[in-house]
Amino acid sequence: MMKISQQRLAALCSILQALTPECRMMITDQGWTTRAVDAANVGMVMVNLPKASFEEYTETDRFELGMDVEKWKNMLDVMKDPKDTITIEHPKGMSKLTITDGKYIYTHNPLDPETVRKWPNAPTLQLPAAVVISAAELQEVIRAMLVIADKARLTVSKDGLAIDAEGATDRLHKVLEVQDTAASVLPEVPLSSLFSLDYLKELARGMKSAGNITVHAGQDHPLRFDFDADGIEAGYLLAPRLEAD
Amino acid sequence: MSWICPYCGTENYQDDRVGRQEPRCRQCNEDRISPEDLEKRKKKETATLERDCERINEEAARIRESMEFHQSIIEEHTGPLADLKQDLEELRDEMRPIREALKKGENLTIFHEVKDRALKAEQDKYQTILPFEVPA
């Protein structure tokens, strides 16, 4: 049996739904883990929900759950009180799950994991720069950039993280405040890459329940976001764009 | 000439006035007053108190009337208010599935956006993909 707050489970769904409508969730006696990429292989989400983030966790089985993120989100919109506890039970030998908040009891048939894309291989990327910024500020800045453009250049330098967007006739430049200088690794030589604001907008929305996020970057390299959102250890990887000719 | 104090009954021997001031009783210190004058004073004060009581009673009656009037207005509106509250509850019940359907629609939109974005990225020659293999 696994008991978790509605708020935390909803946050998990929000983090996943930024990139994918479904995933293979590995459930063990240590908690829940998943990795998934979006259909275009541009973005990847990694989530670890440890046992300690549950209110009660007595699950001893190891099994893979085909998670239909949309359906879970819809169920949580019915069991909508963030203070409620959601109880998830997986009877031994059964494929179905029972999901309840005490008022509603769903007997849920998860997706067949074989029909869901396998986990991507663990990435090995050298991202020399790291900067800690506010998730809320990032979301706000991306919204500002989207007014004029559909892509933005992220540059990490000793001044911090700067975002630049240039549309047909307009430009916007914004430097985000470094939230934790000690945990940041700011390079002497600026490192920058170009990214789709469409993707950045969704990732920023998925990270909205995090306080601070650590952005790992390189020159024309993917971007990695690491964050902790209400007890959920999560990360995103985003592939860069090439500069148009 | 001595006099008997009508308040306390003490016999006083001093009866000369000092100027216009009546002598005072040596026991209770009240001014000398004749029993008849005292009676008159009592009647006058009694009449004043009775008038005050009457006025207060009239005021209380007016307040009671006002309370009854306002009570009747409250009662007149309590019934319709209860009906309105019930109507509100019924509307809320009607709205609940609509709200849930809207939320479901919103989620559907988000997931369609995810698919559309992936489709757009696949067709975008400037968008790179993540540099590792994803098993089929």
CA closest to A40 among chain B residues: B118
- CA dist., res. B117 & res. B123, Å (int): 10
Q: Which helix (H) or strand (E) holds B4?
A: strand B3-4
Residue B133 has pLDDT above 70, yes or no: no
* pLDDT at site B15: 67
Is the full-model pTM beyond 0.80?
no
DSSP string, chain A: -EEEEHHHHHHHHHHHHTT-SEEEEEEETTEEEEEEE-TTSSEEEEEEEEGGGSSEE-----EEEEEEHHHHHHHHHHS--TTSEEEEE--TT-S-EEEE-SS-EEEE-PBPGGGSPPPPPPP-----EEEEEEHHHHHHHHHHHHTT-SEEEEEEETTEEEEEEE-SS-EEEEEEPPS-TTT-B--SS-EEEEEEHHHHHHHHHHTTT-SEEEEEE-TT--EEEEEEETTEEEEEEEPPBPPP-
User: Which among B114, B122, B123 is the top mutation candidate for probing chain A, defined by the most A β-carbons within 10 Å of its own β-carbon?
Assistant: B114
* Average pLDDT over chain B, rounded to an integer: 86
Q: pLDDT digits over A190-219, tens only?
A: 999 999 999 999 999 999 889 999 999 999
Name the minimum distance, in Å, from the CA of B104 to any CA of chain A: 6
CA closest to B127 among chain A residues: A241
Residue B19 tokens read as 């100027």
* pLDDT at site A212: 94
Q: pLDDT digits over A11-30, tens only?
A: 999 999 999 999 999 999 99
DSSP 3-state of B12? strand
- Pick from B108, B118, B130: CB nearest A123: B130
Name the minimum distance, in Å, from the CA of A222 to any CA of chain B: 7
What count of Cα atoms within 13 Å lies in the side-chain half-sphere of residue A243?
Answer: 9
* pLDDT at site B123: 83
* pLDDT at site B46: 95
Name the minimum distance, in Å, from the CA of B107 to any CA of chain A: 7
Instruction: Name the band, by pLDDT with cuts 50, 70 and 90, for residue B119.
Output: confident
Q: Which of residues 15-54 of B touch A (CB under 8 A)?
A: none
* ipTM of the prediction: 0.78
- Pick from A38, A70, A242: CB nearest B128: A242
Mean pLDDT of A47-61: 93
Residue A131 tokens read as 């900067």
- CA dist., res. B26 & res. B75, Å (int): 65
Q: Which residues contact A97 (CB under 8 A, 6 or more apart)?
A: A65, A88, A89, A90, A107, A108, A110
- Pick from B122, B125, B132: CB nearest A121: B132
In this structure, which amino acid lies at residue B46?
T
Instruction: Name the band, by pLDDT with cuts 50, 70 and 90, for residue B113.
Output: confident
Q: pLDDT digits over A113-167, tens only?
A: 889 988 888 778 889 999 999 999 999 999 999 999 999 999 999 989 999 999 8
Instruction: Name the band, by pLDDT with cuts 50, 70 and 90, for residue B134.
Output: low
Instruction: Name the band, by pLDDT with cuts 50, 70 and 90, for residue A244.
Output: confident
CA closest to A18 among chain B residues: B114
Interface A:B, Cβ pairs < 8 A: 103
Q: Which residues contact B43 (CB under 8 A, 6 or more apart)?
A: none
Q: pLDDT digits over A81-126, tens only?
A: 999 999 999 888 778 899 999 999 999 999 998 899 888 887 788 8
